[in-house]
Protein backbone atom coordinates (compact mmCIF):
# COMPACT_ATOMS: atom_id res chain seq x y z
CA UNK A 1 0.00 0.00 0.00
CA UNK A 2 1.16 3.52 -0.50
CA UNK A 3 2.67 4.56 2.76
CA UNK A 4 4.07 7.47 4.50
CA UNK A 5 5.55 6.04 7.64
CA UNK A 6 6.45 7.97 10.78
CA UNK A 7 10.03 7.02 11.61
CA UNK A 8 11.42 6.60 15.09
CA UNK A 9 15.16 6.00 15.00
CA UNK A 10 16.45 6.26 18.55
CA UNK A 11 18.59 4.03 20.69
CA UNK A 12 15.61 2.77 22.62
CA UNK A 13 13.35 2.38 19.59
CA UNK A 14 15.38 0.90 16.79
CA UNK A 15 13.30 -2.15 15.95
CA UNK A 16 9.73 -2.85 15.00
CA UNK A 17 7.48 -5.50 13.60
CA UNK A 18 5.30 -6.59 10.78
CA UNK A 19 2.90 -9.37 10.08
CA UNK A 20 2.42 -11.88 7.34
CA UNK A 21 0.03 -14.16 5.55
CA UNK A 22 -1.22 -17.04 3.52
CA UNK A 23 0.19 -20.24 2.18
CA UNK A 24 3.50 -19.98 3.90
CA UNK A 25 5.64 -22.75 5.20
CA UNK A 26 6.96 -20.75 8.11
CA UNK A 27 6.54 -17.31 9.63
CA UNK A 28 9.22 -14.87 8.53
CA UNK A 29 8.66 -11.81 10.74
CA UNK A 30 10.82 -8.74 10.74
CA UNK A 31 11.78 -5.86 12.96
CA UNK A 32 12.11 -2.34 11.63
CA UNK A 33 13.22 1.12 12.78
CA UNK A 34 10.11 2.91 11.65
CA UNK A 35 6.41 3.32 11.72
CA UNK A 36 3.08 2.07 12.76
CA UNK A 37 2.78 2.12 16.54
CA UNK A 38 5.50 4.58 17.36
CA UNK A 39 5.19 4.38 21.12
CA UNK A 40 5.39 0.61 20.97
CA UNK A 41 8.41 0.36 18.67
CA UNK A 42 6.25 -1.67 16.31
CA UNK A 43 5.89 -1.34 12.56
CA UNK A 44 4.54 -3.36 9.64
CA UNK A 45 7.40 -3.33 7.19
CA UNK A 46 9.57 -6.15 5.99
CA UNK A 47 11.46 -7.74 3.15
CA UNK A 48 11.40 -9.97 0.10
CA UNK A 49 13.25 -13.08 1.21
CA UNK A 50 13.64 -14.84 4.56
CA UNK A 51 16.88 -14.17 6.40
CA UNK A 52 19.54 -16.85 6.05
CA UNK A 53 21.02 -16.17 9.46
CA UNK A 54 19.37 -16.44 12.84
CA UNK A 55 20.93 -16.65 16.29
CA UNK A 56 20.85 -20.12 17.84
CA UNK A 57 18.88 -21.44 14.91
CA UNK A 58 15.93 -19.24 15.76
CA UNK A 59 14.38 -19.38 12.32
CA UNK A 60 11.25 -21.52 12.58
CA UNK A 61 11.05 -24.39 10.12
CA UNK A 62 7.49 -25.63 10.58
CA UNK A 63 5.79 -27.68 7.89
CA UNK A 64 3.13 -26.02 5.79
CA UNK A 65 -0.26 -26.60 7.37
CA UNK A 66 -3.24 -27.06 5.04
CA UNK A 67 -6.07 -24.64 5.70
CA UNK A 68 -8.35 -27.51 6.73
CA UNK A 69 -5.93 -28.54 9.50
CA UNK A 70 -5.47 -25.10 11.02
CA UNK A 71 -7.23 -24.72 14.36
CA UNK A 72 -9.91 -22.06 14.47
CA UNK A 73 -10.29 -19.45 17.19
CA UNK A 74 -8.14 -17.39 19.48
CA UNK A 75 -7.16 -13.74 19.69
CA UNK A 76 -4.04 -12.16 18.22
CA UNK A 77 -2.86 -9.21 20.34
CA UNK A 78 -0.61 -6.44 19.12
CA UNK A 79 0.18 -2.78 19.69
CA UNK A 80 -0.97 -0.21 17.15
CA UNK A 81 -1.65 3.53 16.97
CA UNK A 82 -4.87 5.43 16.32
CA UNK A 83 -5.28 5.49 12.52
CA UNK A 84 -5.77 8.97 11.00
CA UNK A 85 -8.60 7.50 8.89
CA UNK A 86 -10.48 4.29 8.14
CA UNK A 87 -11.86 5.65 4.85
CA UNK A 88 -10.06 3.80 2.02
CA UNK A 89 -10.25 6.89 -0.21
CA UNK A 90 -8.29 8.95 2.33
CA UNK A 91 -5.55 6.51 3.31
CA UNK A 92 -2.07 8.01 3.00
CA UNK A 93 -0.15 6.19 5.76
CA UNK A 94 0.76 2.76 7.07
CA UNK A 95 -1.06 3.17 10.37
CA UNK A 96 -4.39 3.51 8.57
CA UNK A 97 -3.56 1.04 5.81
CA UNK A 98 -2.71 -1.75 8.25
CA UNK A 99 -6.33 -1.70 9.46
CA UNK A 100 -8.12 -0.75 6.24
CA UNK A 101 -6.69 -3.63 4.17
CA UNK A 102 -8.21 -6.12 6.61
CA UNK A 103 -11.71 -4.55 6.66
CA UNK A 104 -12.10 -3.69 2.97
CA UNK A 105 -11.03 -5.25 -0.34
CA UNK A 106 -10.79 -4.58 -4.07
CA UNK A 107 -10.74 -6.15 -7.49
CA UNK A 108 -7.21 -7.50 -7.10
CA UNK A 109 -4.73 -7.88 -4.24
CA UNK A 110 -1.08 -8.54 -3.53
CA UNK A 111 -0.21 -11.83 -1.87
CA UNK A 112 2.43 -12.05 0.88
CA UNK A 113 4.80 -13.12 -1.89
CA UNK A 114 3.97 -9.83 -3.64
CA UNK A 115 2.23 -11.60 -6.47
CA UNK A 116 -0.83 -10.00 -8.01
CA UNK A 117 -3.77 -12.28 -7.23
CA UNK A 118 -7.54 -12.24 -7.88
CA UNK A 119 -9.65 -10.80 -5.08
CA UNK A 120 -13.28 -9.78 -5.68
CA UNK A 121 -12.50 -10.14 -9.40
CA UNK A 122 -11.97 -13.86 -9.90
CA UNK A 123 -10.39 -13.20 -13.30
CA UNK A 124 -9.79 -10.46 -15.86
CA UNK A 125 -8.97 -9.94 -19.51
CA UNK A 126 -6.73 -7.30 -21.09
CA UNK A 127 -7.23 -6.02 -24.62
CA UNK A 128 -4.41 -6.48 -27.17
CA UNK A 129 -3.50 -2.78 -26.96
CA UNK A 130 -3.21 -3.01 -23.15
CA UNK A 131 -5.72 -0.21 -22.58
CA UNK A 132 -8.94 -2.04 -21.69
CA UNK A 133 -9.38 -4.30 -18.66
CA UNK A 134 -12.48 -6.43 -18.20
CA UNK A 135 -13.02 -7.78 -14.69
CA UNK A 136 -15.32 -10.70 -13.86
CA UNK A 137 -16.51 -10.52 -10.25
CA UNK A 138 -17.06 -13.50 -7.96
CA UNK A 139 -20.83 -14.11 -7.78
CA UNK A 140 -20.46 -15.09 -4.11
CA UNK A 141 -18.68 -11.85 -3.11
CA UNK A 142 -20.64 -9.87 -0.52
CA UNK A 143 -20.35 -7.09 2.00
CA UNK A 144 -20.16 -7.89 5.70
CA UNK A 145 -23.96 -7.68 6.04
CA UNK A 146 -24.50 -10.23 3.27
CA UNK A 147 -25.38 -7.75 0.52
CA UNK A 148 -23.97 -8.91 -2.87
CA UNK A 149 -21.11 -6.87 -4.34
CA UNK A 150 -21.77 -5.72 -7.89
CA UNK A 151 -19.88 -3.96 -10.66
CA UNK A 152 -21.99 -0.86 -9.98
CA UNK A 153 -20.62 -0.80 -6.41
CA UNK A 154 -17.10 -0.54 -7.81
CA UNK A 155 -18.03 2.21 -10.25
CA UNK A 156 -19.68 4.25 -7.48
CA UNK A 157 -16.78 3.68 -5.07
CA UNK A 158 -14.09 4.80 -7.51
CA UNK A 159 -16.15 7.83 -8.58
CA UNK A 160 -16.59 8.74 -4.91
CA UNK A 161 -12.84 8.45 -4.32
CA UNK A 162 -12.19 10.83 -7.23
CA UNK A 163 -14.89 13.31 -6.24
CA UNK A 164 -13.66 16.69 -4.95
CA UNK A 165 -16.27 16.37 -2.19
CA UNK A 166 -14.38 13.37 -0.77
CA UNK A 167 -11.12 15.29 -0.70
CA UNK A 168 -8.84 12.33 -1.29
CA UNK A 169 -5.20 13.47 -1.33
CA UNK A 170 -4.18 10.44 -3.39
CA UNK A 171 -7.01 9.79 -5.86
CA UNK A 172 -5.22 11.54 -8.70
CA UNK A 173 -2.06 9.52 -7.98
CA UNK A 174 -3.67 6.09 -7.93
CA UNK A 175 -6.71 6.47 -10.20
CA UNK A 176 -5.73 9.01 -12.83
CA UNK A 177 -4.65 6.40 -15.38
CA UNK A 178 -8.36 5.67 -15.85
CA UNK A 179 -9.97 7.58 -18.70
CA UNK A 180 -12.25 10.32 -17.37
CA UNK A 181 -10.94 10.45 -13.79
CA UNK A 182 -9.41 13.89 -14.33
CA UNK A 183 -12.80 15.32 -15.28
CA UNK A 184 -14.22 14.08 -11.99
CA UNK A 185 -11.23 15.37 -10.02
CA UNK A 186 -11.75 18.77 -11.64
CA UNK A 187 -15.45 18.78 -10.76
CA UNK A 188 -16.63 18.85 -14.38
CA UNK A 189 -18.67 15.64 -14.00
CA UNK A 190 -19.45 12.91 -11.48
CA UNK A 191 -19.23 10.10 -14.04
CA UNK A 192 -15.93 8.40 -14.90
CA UNK A 193 -16.32 7.68 -18.60
CA UNK A 194 -13.61 5.01 -18.56
CA UNK A 195 -15.55 2.76 -16.16
CA UNK A 196 -18.43 0.82 -17.68
CA UNK A 197 -20.79 -1.59 -15.91
CA UNK A 198 -21.45 -4.43 -18.37
CA UNK A 199 -23.64 -6.39 -15.94
CA UNK A 200 -23.76 -7.09 -12.21
CA UNK A 201 -20.59 -9.15 -12.33
CA UNK A 202 -18.67 -7.58 -15.22
CA UNK A 203 -16.78 -4.29 -15.09
CA UNK A 204 -14.76 -2.68 -17.88
CA UNK A 205 -12.05 -0.09 -17.22
CA UNK A 206 -10.29 1.89 -19.97
CA UNK A 207 -6.94 3.53 -19.24
CA UNK A 208 -5.14 6.29 -21.13
CA UNK A 209 -2.08 4.26 -22.20
CA UNK A 210 -0.74 0.74 -21.79
CA UNK A 211 0.88 0.72 -18.33
CA UNK A 212 2.52 -2.34 -16.82
CA UNK A 213 1.78 -1.25 -13.26
CA UNK A 214 -1.93 -0.44 -13.64
CA UNK A 215 -3.28 -3.62 -12.06
CA UNK A 216 -0.89 -3.22 -9.13
CA UNK A 217 -2.25 0.29 -8.56
CA UNK A 218 -5.72 -1.19 -8.08
CA UNK A 219 -4.44 -2.96 -4.95
CA UNK A 220 -4.25 0.44 -3.23
CA UNK A 221 -7.25 1.31 -0.99
CA UNK A 222 -8.50 4.14 -3.25
CA UNK A 223 -9.84 1.41 -5.57
CA UNK A 224 -11.55 -0.61 -2.81
CA UNK A 225 -15.27 -1.24 -2.99
CA UNK A 226 -17.64 0.46 -0.53
CA UNK A 227 -21.33 0.01 0.27
CA UNK A 228 -23.00 3.19 -1.02
CA UNK A 229 -25.94 2.94 1.40
CA UNK A 230 -23.56 2.53 4.37
CA UNK A 231 -21.46 5.55 3.36
CA UNK A 232 -24.34 7.87 2.55
CA UNK A 233 -26.49 7.00 5.56
CA UNK A 234 -23.55 7.26 7.97
CA UNK A 235 -22.48 10.73 6.90
CA UNK A 236 -19.11 11.92 8.21
CA UNK A 237 -19.12 9.13 10.81
CA UNK A 238 -19.78 6.24 8.46
CA UNK A 239 -16.40 4.64 9.27
CA UNK A 240 -17.58 4.11 12.85
CA UNK A 241 -19.70 1.21 11.54
CA UNK A 242 -18.23 0.32 8.12
CA UNK A 243 -19.95 -2.37 6.08
CA UNK A 244 -16.75 -3.62 4.53
CA UNK A 245 -15.94 -6.61 2.37
CA UNK A 246 -12.63 -7.82 3.79
CA UNK A 247 -11.77 -10.83 5.95
CA UNK A 248 -12.38 -8.93 9.21
CA UNK A 249 -15.19 -6.71 10.51
CA UNK A 250 -14.64 -3.68 12.71
CA UNK A 251 -16.22 -4.81 15.98
CA UNK A 252 -15.01 -1.98 18.19
CA UNK A 253 -12.92 1.17 18.01
CA UNK A 254 -12.27 3.22 21.13
CA UNK A 255 -9.91 6.08 20.34
CA UNK A 256 -6.74 5.84 22.38
CA UNK A 257 -7.76 2.47 23.81
CA UNK A 258 -8.28 -0.35 21.34
CA UNK A 259 -9.40 -1.56 17.94
CA UNK A 260 -11.03 -4.99 17.76
CA UNK A 261 -11.44 -6.80 14.44
CA UNK A 262 -13.55 -9.95 14.32
CA UNK A 263 -13.63 -12.77 11.79
CA UNK A 264 -15.93 -12.32 8.80
CA UNK A 265 -17.45 -15.80 8.55
CA UNK A 266 -18.94 -14.95 5.15
CA UNK A 267 -15.68 -13.88 3.51
CA UNK A 268 -15.84 -14.88 -0.15
CA UNK A 269 -12.37 -16.42 -0.01
CA UNK A 270 -11.14 -18.58 2.88
CA UNK A 271 -12.32 -16.96 6.14
CA UNK A 272 -9.75 -16.08 8.81
CA UNK A 273 -8.61 -18.65 11.34
CA UNK A 274 -8.50 -16.44 14.41
CA UNK A 275 -11.63 -15.13 16.13
CA UNK A 276 -10.31 -11.60 16.46
CA UNK A 277 -7.42 -9.16 16.29
CA UNK A 278 -6.94 -6.92 19.34
CA UNK A 279 -4.97 -3.75 18.61
CA UNK A 280 -3.86 -1.98 21.78
CA UNK A 281 -3.84 1.79 21.18
CA UNK A 282 -3.04 2.88 24.72
CA UNK A 283 0.71 2.69 24.26
CA UNK A 284 3.21 1.31 26.74
CA UNK A 285 6.61 -0.33 26.69
CA UNK A 286 6.19 -3.12 24.20
CA UNK A 287 8.94 -5.39 25.53
CA UNK A 288 7.50 -5.27 29.05
CA UNK A 289 4.01 -5.91 27.67
CA UNK A 290 5.32 -8.87 25.67
CA UNK A 291 7.06 -10.37 28.70
CA UNK A 292 3.89 -9.84 30.75
CA UNK A 293 1.95 -11.78 28.10
CA UNK A 294 -0.17 -8.75 27.17
CA UNK A 295 0.77 -8.83 23.45
CA UNK A 296 1.92 -11.56 21.07
CA UNK A 297 4.57 -9.71 19.06
CA UNK A 298 7.16 -7.02 19.60
CA UNK A 299 10.24 -5.56 18.03
CA UNK A 300 13.48 -5.78 19.98
CA UNK A 301 15.17 -2.50 20.87
CA UNK A 302 18.87 -1.96 21.38
CA UNK A 303 18.55 -2.02 25.14
CA UNK A 304 17.16 -5.57 25.03
CA UNK A 305 18.99 -6.95 22.01
CA UNK A 306 22.06 -8.38 23.77
CA UNK A 307 19.87 -10.13 26.34
CA UNK A 308 17.53 -11.59 23.75
CA UNK A 309 20.42 -12.80 21.57
CA UNK A 310 21.76 -14.89 24.48
CA UNK A 311 20.90 -18.54 23.68
CA UNK A 312 20.43 -19.20 27.41
CA UNK A 313 17.72 -16.53 27.60
CA UNK A 314 14.17 -17.90 27.55
CA UNK A 315 13.05 -15.26 25.04
CA UNK A 316 15.74 -16.38 22.61
CA UNK A 317 13.54 -19.30 21.59
CA UNK A 318 10.93 -16.86 20.29
CA UNK A 319 13.39 -14.63 18.42
CA UNK A 320 13.25 -14.33 14.66
CA UNK A 321 15.73 -12.45 12.49
CA UNK A 322 14.12 -10.74 9.55
CA UNK A 323 15.48 -9.07 6.41
CA UNK A 324 14.86 -5.47 5.30
CA UNK A 325 11.59 -4.07 4.06
CA UNK A 326 10.86 -2.02 0.97
CA UNK A 327 11.13 1.40 2.57
CA UNK A 328 13.46 4.36 2.84
CA UNK A 329 13.57 7.15 5.41
CA UNK A 330 14.65 10.63 4.38
CA UNK A 331 14.75 14.35 5.04
CA UNK A 332 12.65 16.20 2.49
CA UNK A 333 13.10 19.74 1.20
CA UNK A 334 10.48 22.10 -0.14
CA UNK A 335 12.34 23.13 -3.28
CA UNK A 336 9.92 26.02 -3.83
CA UNK A 337 11.12 27.71 -0.63
CA UNK A 338 14.41 29.40 0.16
CA UNK A 339 17.11 28.22 0.58
CA UNK A 340 16.07 24.83 -0.84
CA UNK A 341 15.34 26.28 -4.27
CA UNK A 342 19.10 26.11 -4.93
CA UNK A 343 20.39 22.61 -5.88
CA UNK A 344 23.89 23.43 -4.66
CA UNK A 345 22.58 24.30 -1.21
CA UNK A 346 20.73 20.96 -1.10
CA UNK A 347 23.82 19.13 -2.34
CA UNK A 348 25.91 20.79 0.37
CA UNK A 349 23.58 19.49 3.07
CA UNK A 350 23.84 15.97 1.62
CA UNK A 351 27.63 15.98 1.50
CA UNK A 352 27.84 17.26 5.10
CA UNK A 353 26.19 14.13 6.57
CA UNK A 354 28.39 11.18 7.50
CA UNK A 355 25.79 8.41 7.24
CA UNK A 356 28.32 5.60 7.65
CA UNK A 357 29.42 7.03 10.99
CA UNK A 358 25.85 7.50 12.21
CA UNK A 359 24.79 4.01 11.11
CA UNK A 360 27.69 2.40 12.96
CA UNK A 361 28.26 4.57 16.02
CA UNK A 362 24.72 5.77 16.72
CA UNK A 363 22.44 3.10 15.28
CA UNK A 364 24.65 0.03 15.87
CA UNK A 365 24.53 -1.03 12.21
CA UNK A 366 20.83 -1.86 12.44
CA UNK A 367 20.25 0.37 9.42
CA UNK A 368 21.94 0.67 6.03
CA UNK A 369 22.89 4.15 4.75
CA UNK A 370 20.67 5.16 1.83
CA UNK A 371 22.00 7.10 -1.15
CA UNK A 372 18.94 6.85 -3.39
CA UNK A 373 15.15 6.37 -3.11
CA UNK A 374 14.92 2.73 -4.26
CA UNK A 375 15.66 0.20 -1.48
CA UNK A 376 17.84 -2.91 -1.92
CA UNK A 377 16.03 -5.91 -3.36
CA UNK A 378 13.37 -3.71 -4.94
CA UNK A 379 12.86 -3.92 -8.73
CA UNK A 380 15.20 -1.42 -10.38
CA UNK A 381 17.52 -1.03 -7.38
CA UNK A 382 20.90 0.21 -8.57
CA UNK A 383 23.74 -1.05 -6.37
CA UNK A 384 26.21 1.05 -8.41
CA UNK A 385 24.46 4.35 -7.70
CA UNK A 386 27.22 6.52 -6.14
CA UNK A 387 24.96 8.98 -4.36
CA UNK A 388 26.06 12.15 -2.57
CA UNK A 389 28.59 10.77 -0.09
CA UNK A 390 30.11 12.45 2.94
CA UNK A 391 32.64 15.05 1.82
CA UNK A 392 32.85 18.08 4.14
CA UNK A 393 35.24 20.01 1.89
CA UNK A 394 32.94 19.59 -1.11
CA UNK A 395 29.98 20.52 1.10
CA UNK A 396 31.63 23.83 2.05
CA UNK A 397 32.56 24.50 -1.58
CA UNK A 398 29.01 23.88 -2.79
CA UNK A 399 27.60 26.14 -0.08
CA UNK A 400 29.94 28.94 -1.19
CA UNK A 401 28.93 28.40 -4.81
CA UNK A 402 25.22 28.45 -3.96
CA UNK A 403 22.97 31.49 -3.87
CA UNK A 404 23.15 31.43 -0.09
CA UNK A 405 26.83 31.47 0.94
CA UNK A 406 26.47 34.39 3.36
CA UNK A 407 22.99 34.13 4.77
CA UNK A 408 21.87 36.28 7.65
CA UNK A 409 21.27 34.45 10.90
CA UNK A 410 17.53 34.54 10.29
CA UNK A 411 17.73 33.24 6.72
CA UNK A 412 20.30 30.62 7.64
CA UNK A 413 17.98 28.97 10.17
CA UNK A 414 16.09 25.99 8.75
CA UNK A 415 12.83 24.72 10.22
CA UNK A 416 12.42 20.97 9.95
CA UNK A 417 8.98 19.64 10.88
CA UNK A 418 8.66 16.15 12.32
CA UNK A 419 5.67 14.13 13.53
CA UNK A 420 5.34 13.95 17.30
CA UNK A 421 4.15 15.73 20.39
CA UNK A 422 7.21 16.67 22.40
CA UNK A 423 9.08 13.38 22.45
CA UNK A 424 12.54 12.57 21.15
CA UNK A 425 13.26 13.43 17.53
CA UNK A 426 15.68 10.55 17.13
CA UNK A 427 19.42 10.42 17.75
CA UNK A 428 20.19 10.21 14.05
CA UNK A 429 18.45 13.51 13.32
CA UNK A 430 20.14 15.15 16.30
CA UNK A 431 23.55 14.10 14.97
CA UNK A 432 22.71 15.27 11.44
CA UNK A 433 21.70 18.69 12.74
CA UNK A 434 24.98 18.94 14.63
CA UNK A 435 26.94 17.93 11.50
CA UNK A 436 25.25 20.69 9.51
CA UNK A 437 26.11 23.19 12.22
CA UNK A 438 29.76 22.15 12.45
CA UNK A 439 30.46 21.68 8.74
CA UNK A 440 28.29 24.43 7.22
CA UNK A 441 27.36 26.68 10.15
CA UNK A 442 23.71 26.02 9.34
CA UNK A 443 21.28 26.18 12.26
CA UNK A 444 18.16 24.03 12.41
CA UNK A 445 14.97 24.50 14.40
CA UNK A 446 12.74 21.46 15.02
CA UNK A 447 8.96 21.76 14.97
CA UNK A 448 6.82 18.82 16.10
CA UNK A 449 3.27 18.24 14.86
CA UNK A 450 0.73 15.54 15.74
CA UNK A 451 0.70 12.76 13.11
CA UNK A 452 -2.71 13.33 11.51
CA UNK A 453 -2.10 17.09 11.35
CA UNK A 454 1.39 16.45 10.02
CA UNK A 455 -0.05 14.45 7.12
CA UNK A 456 -2.59 17.17 6.30
CA UNK A 457 0.05 19.92 6.32
CA UNK A 458 2.48 17.77 4.35
CA UNK A 459 -0.11 17.20 1.63
CA UNK A 460 -0.55 20.98 1.43
CA UNK A 461 3.24 21.54 1.13
CA UNK A 462 3.29 23.79 4.18
CA UNK A 463 6.70 22.68 5.47
CA UNK A 464 10.05 24.22 4.60
CA UNK A 465 11.70 20.88 5.33
CA UNK A 466 10.37 17.68 6.85
CA UNK A 467 11.76 14.56 8.48
CA UNK A 468 10.77 11.76 10.80
CA UNK A 469 9.03 9.79 8.08
CA UNK A 470 9.74 7.39 5.27
CA UNK A 471 8.15 5.90 2.19
CA UNK A 472 7.12 2.28 2.00
CA UNK A 473 6.28 0.56 -1.27
CA UNK A 474 2.67 0.23 -2.36
CA UNK A 475 3.47 -2.29 -5.08
CA UNK A 476 6.73 -3.75 -6.44
CA UNK A 477 7.43 -1.36 -9.31
CA UNK A 478 9.93 1.55 -9.43
CA UNK A 479 7.11 3.80 -10.62
CA UNK A 480 5.73 3.63 -7.09
CA UNK A 481 8.78 5.44 -5.72
CA UNK A 482 10.23 7.57 -8.51
CA UNK A 483 7.17 8.71 -10.46
CA UNK A 484 4.87 9.16 -7.47
CA UNK A 485 7.42 10.99 -5.32
CA UNK A 486 9.35 13.06 -7.87
CA UNK A 487 7.27 13.79 -10.97
CA UNK A 488 6.50 17.51 -10.93
CA UNK A 489 2.75 16.89 -11.39
CA UNK A 490 2.41 14.28 -8.65
CA UNK A 491 0.26 15.33 -5.69
CA UNK A 492 2.57 13.32 -3.42
CA UNK A 493 5.64 15.27 -4.54
CA UNK A 494 5.64 17.05 -1.18
CA UNK A 495 8.87 18.89 -1.88
CA UNK A 496 7.56 20.52 -5.08
CA UNK A 497 10.58 19.06 -6.86
CA UNK A 498 10.57 19.85 -10.60
CA UNK A 499 13.01 18.77 -13.29
CA UNK A 500 11.79 18.66 -16.89
CA UNK A 501 14.28 15.93 -17.85
CA UNK A 502 13.21 13.76 -14.93
CA UNK A 503 9.57 14.20 -15.98
CA UNK A 504 10.42 13.23 -19.55
CA UNK A 505 12.23 10.04 -18.53
CA UNK A 506 9.52 9.02 -16.06
CA UNK A 507 6.82 9.53 -18.68
CA UNK A 508 8.72 7.33 -21.12
CA UNK A 509 9.04 4.62 -18.47
CA UNK A 510 5.29 4.65 -17.83
CA UNK A 511 4.48 3.22 -21.25
CA UNK A 512 7.68 1.31 -22.07
CA UNK A 513 6.65 -2.33 -22.70
CA UNK A 514 10.16 -3.80 -22.48
CA UNK A 515 11.02 -4.62 -18.85
CA UNK A 516 14.77 -4.14 -19.25
CA UNK A 517 14.33 -0.79 -20.95
CA UNK A 518 11.91 0.33 -18.22
CA UNK A 519 14.52 -0.47 -15.57
CA UNK A 520 17.13 1.51 -17.52
CA UNK A 521 14.80 4.51 -17.68
CA UNK A 522 14.03 4.40 -13.97
CA UNK A 523 17.72 4.17 -13.13
CA UNK A 524 18.37 7.16 -15.34
CA UNK A 525 15.64 9.10 -13.55
CA UNK A 526 16.96 8.08 -10.13
CA UNK A 527 20.47 9.27 -11.00
CA UNK A 528 19.08 12.69 -12.01
CA UNK A 529 16.99 12.94 -8.84
CA UNK A 530 19.93 12.04 -6.60
CA UNK A 531 22.28 14.45 -8.38
CA UNK A 532 19.68 17.20 -7.86
CA UNK A 533 19.61 16.41 -4.13
CA UNK A 534 15.81 16.43 -4.00
CA UNK A 535 16.11 14.67 -0.60
CA UNK A 536 18.65 13.62 1.93
CA UNK A 537 18.02 9.86 1.75
CA UNK A 538 18.82 8.44 5.18
CA UNK A 539 18.33 4.75 5.87
CA UNK A 540 17.23 1.45 4.52
CA UNK A 541 16.46 -1.08 7.21
CA UNK A 542 19.01 -3.78 7.93
CA UNK A 543 18.33 -7.14 9.58
CA UNK A 544 15.71 -6.74 12.24
CA UNK A 545 14.79 -8.65 15.35
CA UNK A 546 11.30 -9.56 16.51
CA UNK A 547 9.78 -11.73 19.19
CA UNK A 548 6.64 -13.74 18.42
CA UNK A 549 4.85 -15.97 20.90
CA UNK A 550 5.27 -19.61 19.95
CA UNK A 551 1.50 -20.19 19.89
CA UNK A 552 1.22 -17.76 16.95
CA UNK A 553 1.63 -19.66 13.69
CA UNK A 554 1.87 -18.62 10.03
CA UNK A 555 2.50 -15.03 11.01
CA UNK A 556 4.58 -14.06 8.04
CA UNK A 557 6.27 -10.75 7.43
CA UNK A 558 6.09 -8.96 4.10
CA UNK A 559 8.16 -6.07 2.70
CA UNK A 560 5.10 -3.86 2.74
CA UNK A 561 1.55 -3.89 4.06
CA UNK A 562 -0.74 -6.38 2.33
CA UNK A 563 -3.92 -8.05 3.63
CA UNK A 564 -2.61 -11.08 5.47
CA UNK A 565 -3.90 -11.54 9.02
CA UNK A 566 -6.51 -14.08 7.92
CA UNK A 567 -3.76 -16.63 7.26
CA UNK A 568 -2.33 -16.83 10.77
CA UNK A 569 -3.69 -19.13 13.45
CA UNK A 570 -3.30 -19.71 17.17
CA UNK A 571 -1.87 -23.07 18.15
CATH number, domain of 203, equals: 3.90.76.10
pLDDT at 62 over 50: no
pLDDT at 109 over 80: yes
Q: Examine residue 185 and state whether it is found in any structural domain, yes or no.
A: yes
Q: How confident is the model at residue 226 (pLDDT cuts 50, 70, 90)?
A: very high
pLDDT tens figures, 71-80: 899 999 999 9
Tell me, what's the pLDDT at 113?
84
Q: Examine residue 241 and state whether it is found in any structural domain, yes or no.
A: no
Over residues 150-172, the mean pLDDT reads 97
Q: Examine residue 60 and state whether it is found in any structural domain, yes or no.
A: yes
Cβ within 8 Å of residue 303, ≥6 positions away: 11, 12
pLDDT at 95 over 70: yes
Q: Examine residue 381 and state whether it is found in any structural domain, yes or no.
A: yes
Last residue of a domain, one of 203, 235, 267: 235
Contact in structure between 106 and 151 (CB atoms under 8 Å): no
Identify whether residues 280 and 165 lie together within a single domain: no
CATH number, domain of 513, equals: 3.10.105.10
* Beta-sheet pairing, 414-419 with 465-472: parallel
Last residue of a domain, one of 235, 254, 271: 235
Best mean pLDDT range from 152-161, 471-480, 562-571: 152-161
Please tell me which residue, 301 or 222, carries the higher pLDDT value. Answer: 222
Identify whether residues 191 and 285 lie together within a single domain: no
Express as a percent the part of the chain with pLDDT over 70.
86
Over residues 370-392, the mean pLDDT reads 94
Identify whether residues 551 and 503 lie together within a single domain: no
pLDDT tens figures, 550-562: 999 998 877 788 9
Q: Is the peptide bond before 339 cis (omega within 30 degrees of 0)?
A: yes
Identify whether residues 557 and 450 lie together within a single domain: no
Q: What is the 3-state secondary structure (H, E, C) of 89-132?
A: HHCCEHHHHHHHHHHCCCCEEECCCCCEEECCEEEEEECCCCCE
Least Cα distance to 45 among 13, 27, 18, 21 occurs for 18
Identify whether residues 169 and 179 lie together within a single domain: yes
Q: Examine residue 240 and state whether it is found in any structural domain, yes or no.
A: no
Identify whether residues 38 and 141 lie together within a single domain: no
Over residues 168-172, the mean pLDDT reads 93
pLDDT tens figures, 501-517: 999 999 999 999 999 99
Identify whether residues 358 and 497 lie together within a single domain: yes
Please tell me which residue, 49 or 332, carries the higher pLDDT value. Answer: 332
Q: How confident is the model at residue 48 (pLDDT cuts 50, 70, 90)?
A: very low
Last residue of a domain, one of 185, 211, 235: 235
Identify whether residues 125 and 214 lie together within a single domain: yes
- Give this prediction's pTM: 0.82
Contact in structure between 543 and 98 (CB atoms under 8 Å): no
Q: Examine residue 57 and state whether it is found in any structural domain, yes or no.
A: yes
How many domains in the chain?
A: 3
Tell me, what's the pLDDT at 10?
31
Identify whether residues 477 and 333 lie together within a single domain: yes
Q: Examine residue 420 and state whether it is found in any structural domain, yes or no.
A: yes
Over residues 458-473, the mean pLDDT reads 90
pLDDT at 51 over 50: no
Identify whether residues 174 and 310 lie together within a single domain: no
CATH number, domain of 85, equals: 3.40.190.10
Identify whether residues 412 and 374 lie together within a single domain: yes
**CA gap 433, 436 in Å, rounded:** 5
Q: Which domain range does residue 476 map to? A: 327-541
pLDDT tens figures, 3-21: 566 554 332 233 333 333 3
Cβ within 8 Å of residue 25, ≥6 positions away: 61, 62, 63, 64
Q: Examine residue 206 and state whether it is found in any structural domain, yes or no.
A: yes
pLDDT at 391 over 80: yes
Over residues 49-54, the mean pLDDT reads 26
pLDDT at 520 over 60: yes
Q: Mind giving me the DSSP string for 474-510?
A: SSSSTHHHHHHHHSTT-TT-TT----HHHHHHHHHHH
Q: How confident is the model at residue 543 (pLDDT cuts 50, 70, 90)?
A: low
Identify whether residues 218 and 257 lie together within a single domain: no
Tell me, what's the pLDDT at 455?
86
Tell me, what's the pLDDT at 155?
98
Over residues 375-393, the mean pLDDT reads 94
Which of helix, strand or coil describes residue 3?
strand
Tell me, what's the pLDDT at 61?
35
pLDDT at 331 over 60: yes
pLDDT at 524 over 70: yes
Q: Report the Cα 254 to chain-centroid distance in Å.
A: 24
Tell me, what's the pLDDT at 491?
87
pLDDT at 189 over 50: yes
Amino acid sequence: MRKLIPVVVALFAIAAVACGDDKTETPVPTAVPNEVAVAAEVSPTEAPQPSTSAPSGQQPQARAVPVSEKPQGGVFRRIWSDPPTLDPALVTDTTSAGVVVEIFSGLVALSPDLELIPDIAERWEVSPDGMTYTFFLRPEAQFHDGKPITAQDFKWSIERAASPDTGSPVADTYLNDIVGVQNVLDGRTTDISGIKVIDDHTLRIDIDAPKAYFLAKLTYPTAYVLDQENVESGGRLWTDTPNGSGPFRLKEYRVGERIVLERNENFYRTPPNVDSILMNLAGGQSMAMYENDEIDITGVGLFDLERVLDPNEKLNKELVVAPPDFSVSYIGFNTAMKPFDDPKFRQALNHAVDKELIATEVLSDLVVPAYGPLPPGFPGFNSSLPGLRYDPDLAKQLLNESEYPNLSDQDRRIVITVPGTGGTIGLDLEVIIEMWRQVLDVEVEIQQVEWATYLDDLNQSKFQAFAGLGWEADYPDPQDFLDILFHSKSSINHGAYANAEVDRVLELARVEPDISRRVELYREAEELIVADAAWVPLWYTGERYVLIKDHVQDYRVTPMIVPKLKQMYIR
